[in-house]
Chains A and B, each alone.
Chain A
Amino acid sequence: MNQGLRQRLGNLGGLALALAVWTVYAVYFSPAQGWTFFFQLSVNGIILGSVYALIALGYSMVYGILKLLNFAHGDVYMIGSFIGFGVLTLLGGPLNPAIPVALLVFCMFVVAMLGSGLLGLAIERFAYRPLRDAPRIAPLISALGVAFFLENSALLLFGSQFRSYDGFELISYNGIHLGGDNGVFIQYLGVIVIVGAVLLMLALLGLVRWTRLGKAMRAVSFDREAAGMMGIDPDRVIAATFFIGSALAGAAGVMFGLLFSQIYHLMGFLAGLKGFTAAVVGGIGSIPGAMLGGLLVGLIESWARGYLNGNVSDLVVFGVLIGVMLVRPSGLLGTPALQKV
C-alpha cells in the first residue's frame, strides 16, 4: 500500500469517526429535536450536496488538468439554470406543460447541459487557451473577468428579476415517508436530484476510467507535454474537459432551479464558492474527492442551518474549509504534492 493511499484511507477513517461521533451526539444528546430531525437534515443536506458535488466536479476536473481555478464555473452553472428555465417556459411552463413532464424535465437537462458545455468550450477557447503558457496569475484574472462578464451578460439578457421554476408544481409536492408519517420525508424531486447526480457522477467516473478520452485526460493531467509527445492532442482533451465539467454545472443549475425555485443572475457566485470549497475539501483534482466534498459541504450547511439559530451556515462551511486546509492541505482525497529534493 503506497503512502498516498494510506493517507487517503486514514483521512476517510478520520472523517467517518468524526461523522459517527456527531451523529451519536445529535441523535442521543440533542433531545429537543431527536433523531428524526437529524436524519431529515441529513437527507436535505445530501440533496443540496448532490448539487454542490456536480459543481465541484467541474472545478476539480479543470484544476486537475490545467492547474487553473476556473472562477467562471459558478456562472456557467447560473447560465445552465437559465437555459433550463428557458426550455421550461418554451414548453408551456410548470402549470401547463405542452409535453409529458418526464420528457420536459429530460429536455431541460439535455439542453442546459449542451448549452453550458458549449459555453464552457467557448470560455476555454477564448479566455484560457491564449493564456496557456502565460504566468499562472494571468488565466486566474481572466477567469474572474469571465465570471463578471457572464453575470452582467445575464443581467442584460434576463434582467435581475427572480425567475421561478415552480419545480414542486411541475413534478410533485409528494414524496416518500421513511419511519412513518412523523419520520423522515424525501420529496420525489429530491429523489430525482440525488439519483440524477449519482448517475452523472458514475458516468463521469466510467468515462475517466474506461474510455480513451478518460485515459487521455488522465495523461494530460499527469504531464501535458509528455502526453502531447505520445500523440495526444492536449488542446482537444482540455476542451473536452471543459465541455464535460460545464455540462455537469448546467445539470446542477437545472437541479437547483427545480428544487429551490428561484434563479437570478447572481446565483452563481455563492454556489460557485461552495462548489469550489467542496472541491478543495475533497481534494482538488480528485473526482471522488469532489463528490465527497460536495456531499460534506451540503450536509454541514444543512446541519448548521438546522441546529444553529440565525443564518451562520456559511460561516460554518467556510470555517470547515479553513480547518481542512490547516490539517490536510491537499484535502481528504487529494494527493500530496511530491517535493523533489
Chain B
Amino acid sequence: MRKFVVAAALAAGVAVLATAAFGSTNSSSRTTSAASPATATVKCGKTRTIGMAAPYTGPAADIGNQQVRWAKYYVKRWNAQKANKNKQIKIVPGDTQLGVDTAFAVRVAKSFASNSKLLGVVGPAGSQEVVASTSAYKGGGLGFVSGSASRTSLTDGHTDGNRRGYFYRVVPNDAAQGPVVANWMTKKLKWKRVYIIDDQEAYSQGLATGVGKILSSRGVKVTHDSISQSDSDFSSKIAKIPSNTQGIYIPWQLAPQAQAFGQQLKAAGKSKIKLFGSDGLFAPGVWKIAGSYDSAFPYNPNDAGVKKYVSTHKGNGEFFGLPSYVAAQVVVGAVTKACANGTATRAEVRKLIAKTKLKTSILGFPVSFASTGEMHAPATYGVYQIQSNGSFKRIG
C-alpha cells in the first residue's frame, strides 16, 4: 500500500511538473515570438547596427583582424560622408576564434541573433564556422555575408545544410580555387610529384581533394596525408615526404602552423621542396617561408580605396581581409535601403542583400548574387609568391 502511495505521489508530481514545464514553454515561446528579434521591426534612427563575426583572437587572429580592419575601413569611409550623417553605421564585434572551436562562432551567432538592434552580419570567416552557426543565424532571421568562407558545398543547399536566403559570400568558391592551384602547379611549375596535406577541417579537405583529383587526372603523382590544427610536431610527417617531391600543397587556415611546418621542413634538410598554400594562409608577415606560393582572392590594386588602405598601412595591403570590405559594403547598403522609411526588419535586409547590385567593387568586378548566395560570375583566384622580406607578390 505504501509503495502504491509513493508511486502515485511521484506520478502526480511528475505530471504537475510536466504540465508546468509545458505551460511555461508555451508561454515563453509566445513571448519570444511576440518580441523575437527575428521578426521585430527596428527603429533605425541615426545609427544602425551590424555585426562583425571574425576571429579577433585565436590562432587565426592575424587574418581575422585583417578582415575586421577592412570592414571597419569601409564603415569609416561610409560614416565620413556628409550624405550619411544621419545614416551612421555601428559595428558590434563577435570573436569566433577560428581554429579553436566552432562553438565560439555559434555563441557569436546566438548573441547577434538576440541583439534586437542588429540588422545584418559581416562574416564569419571559416567555412566550418558558417556550417556550425547557420541555424543560429537562421533562427535570428539574420542575413550574413562572408568575406572568406569558400567551401563549395556551403551554397549547394543540401550537403552542409540549406542556408539559401541567409548566407552570401563575396569570394569565389573552392571550385574556382582548386583549378587555379592545379593549373599553376602543372602548367607553370611543371610539378610531377606533389604531396598534399590537409588539416582535417572541412575547408581544407575540400580543397585538398579537389586539387588532388585534378593533379592525378593530369598524371601527377599525388600523395595525400593529414595533420590536425592542434599539431605542432611535423617531424614525422616531414620524414615521410620523399626528397624528390617538388611541392607540398597545404590548404590550411592557420598561418603560424604553416610557418612552423616550413621551418621544420627546412630543419629536416628539405627546404628545396616548395610549399603551396591557399587563401586561408594569406597572412603576410606570419607565414613567411620565402619562395612559397599561395592562392588568394582577387582584388583591384588600382582602386583608390585600395591604394589609400595600402598607403596608410605602410605598404601592407592585408589583402586577405579585403573582401570583408565588400561584405560590409553589401550589408551596409542593404541596411540603409531597408531603413529608408525609418524602420527595418531583418527579413527586409536579407531580401535587399539578395538584390545587391554593385556596378564596381574593389574586387575589380561587379557584385550581385545568385539565389544560391554565390556571386554572379566572380573573378577567379590569384597566385602569389612569398618574397624574402615576407611580403606576398602577385605572380599570376
Contacts and interface: CB of A to CB of B under 8 A. Distances in A.
Interface of A: 33, 37, 40-41, 44-45, 47-48, 159-162, 164, 166, 168-169, 173, 175, 182, 185, 187, 189, 256, 259-262, 264, 266-267, 270, 301-303, 305-306, 309-311
B263 A261 contact: yes
Contacts of B58: 160-161
B394 interface: no
Contacts of B257: 162, 262
A268 to B, nearest CB: 12
Contacts of A259: 233
Contact of B227 (A48, A173, A311): A311
B61 A161 contact: yes
Given A160-B100, A185-B269, A262-B256, 4 more contacts: A41-B236, A187-B267, A264-B59, A270-B230
Contacts of B268: 185
Interface in B18-71: 57-59, 61-62
Contacts of B221: none
Contact of A306 (B97, B227, B240): B240
A311 B200 CA distance: 8
B226 A309 contact: yes
23 contacts: A37-B240, A41-B239, A47-B235, A160-B61, A162-B254, A162-B257, A164-B256, A166-B263, A168-B266, A173-B263, A173-B266, A175-B267, A187-B267, A261-B232, A261-B263, A264-B59, A266-B100, A267-B232, A270-B230, A305-B236, A306-B237, A306-B239, A311-B228
Interface string B256-273: 110110011011110000
B236 A302 contact: yes
Given A262-B256, A309-B224, A311-B226, A44 B231 contact: no
Across the A-B interface, the 8 shortest Cβ-Cβ residue pairs:
A305-B236, A162-B256, A260-B232, A261-B260, A44-B235, A306-B236, A160-B57, A40-B239
B225 interface: yes
A160 B61 CA distance: 8
- Between B58, B239, B254, the greatest number of chain A beta carbons within 10 A of the residue's beta carbon is seen for B239
- Between A33, A162, A189, A264, the greatest number of chain B beta carbons within 10 A of the residue's beta carbon is seen for A162
A310 B62 contact: no
Contacts of A256: 232
Contact of B235 (A159, A302, A309): A302
Contacts of B57: 159-161
Contacts of B263: 166, 168-169, 173, 261
A173 B239 contact: no
A299 B254 CA distance: 27
A120 to B, nearest CB: 23
Interface string B80-124: 000000000000000001001000000000000000000000000
B231 A159 contact: no
Given A37-B240, A164-B259, A264-B59, A48 B233 contact: yes
Contact of A309 (B100, B225, B254, B256): B225
Nearest to A184: B239
Nearest to B199: A311
B291 to A, nearest CB: 15
B161 to A, nearest CB: 26
A261 B235 contact: no
B100 to A, nearest CB: 7
Nearest to A188: B267
A159 B226 contact: no
A185 B238 CA distance: 12
Nearest to A302: B236
A131 to B, nearest CB: 31
Contacts of B264: 168, 260-261
Contact of A261 (B61, B62, B259): B259
Contact of A173 (B62, B256, B267): B267
Contact of B97 (A44, A160, A309): A160
Contacts of A162: 59, 254, 256-257
B147 to A, nearest CB: 20
A266 B59 CA distance: 11
A155 to B, nearest CB: 8
Contact of A260 (B100, B227, B233, B269): B233
B95 to A, nearest CB: 9
Contacts of A187: 267
A261 B266 CA distance: 13
A306 B266 CA distance: 18
A305 B224 contact: no
B241 to A, nearest CB: 10
Contacts of B225: 309-310
A201 B266 CA distance: 30
Interface in B191-247: 200, 224-228, 230-233, 235-237, 239-240, 243
A235 to B, nearest CB: 37
A4 to B, nearest CB: 35
B300 to A, nearest CB: 30
A262 B232 contact: yes
Contact of A161 (B62, B228, B240): B62
Nearest to B263: A168
A44 B59 contact: no
Nearest to B95: A160
A147 to B, nearest CB: 17
Contacts of B256: 161-162, 164, 261-262
A309 B226 CA distance: 7
B217 to A, nearest CB: 21
Contacts of A45: 236
Contacts of A166: 263
B225 to A, nearest CB: 6
Contact of A37 (B226, B228, B239): B239
Nearest to A169: B263
A222 to B, nearest CB: 38
Contacts of A301: 236
B129 to A, nearest CB: 15
A339 to B, nearest CB: 41
Nearest to A175: B267
B228 A44 contact: no
Contacts of A40: 239
Interface in B149-177: none
